[in-house]
Amino acid sequence: MIHVVTPENRHLYEAELLDQHRLRHQVYIVERKWRGLEDRGGLEYDRYDTDETTYLLAIERGRVIGGTRLFPTLRPHMLEEVCPQLAAVRGIPRAPDICEWTRIYVTKERREGAYGGAIAGQLFSATFEYCIEHGIRALNVVFEAWWLPRLSAQGWKMQVLGVPDMIDGDWWMAVTMPIDEETLRATRAYNRIEGDILVQRGIRRRESGKVA
Looking at the domain assignment, is residue 212 inside a domain? no
Residue 143's nearest CA partner among 116, 122, 118, 125 is 116
Instruction: With beta carbons less than 8 A apart as the criterion, state whether 105 and 164 touch.
Output: no
Give the global pTM: 0.90
CATH of the domain at 135: 3.40.630.30
Looking at the domain assignment, is residue 168 inside a domain? yes
Looking at the domain assignment, is residue 144 inside a domain? yes
Looking at the domain assignment, is residue 136 inside a domain? yes
| Domain count along the chain | 1
Q: How far is CA 142 from the centre of its chain?
A: 10
Looking at the domain assignment, is residue 123 inside a domain? yes
Residues in Cβ contact with 212 at an 8 Å cutoff, skipping those fewer than 6 apart = 204, 205, 206
Pairing mode of beta strands 170-178, 63-72: unpaired
For residue 108, the enclosing domain spans 2-199
Tens of pLDDT along the chain (212 residues)? 899 999 899 999 999 999 999 999 999 999 988 888 888 899 999 999 999 999 999 999 889 999 999 999 999 999 999 999 999 999 999 999 999 999 999 999 887 765 568 999 999 999 999 999 999 999 999 999 988 988 999 999 999 999 999 988 889 999 999 999 999 999 999 999 998 999 887 765 444 455 54
Looking at the domain assignment, is residue 206 inside a domain? no
Looking at the domain assignment, is residue 91 inside a domain? yes
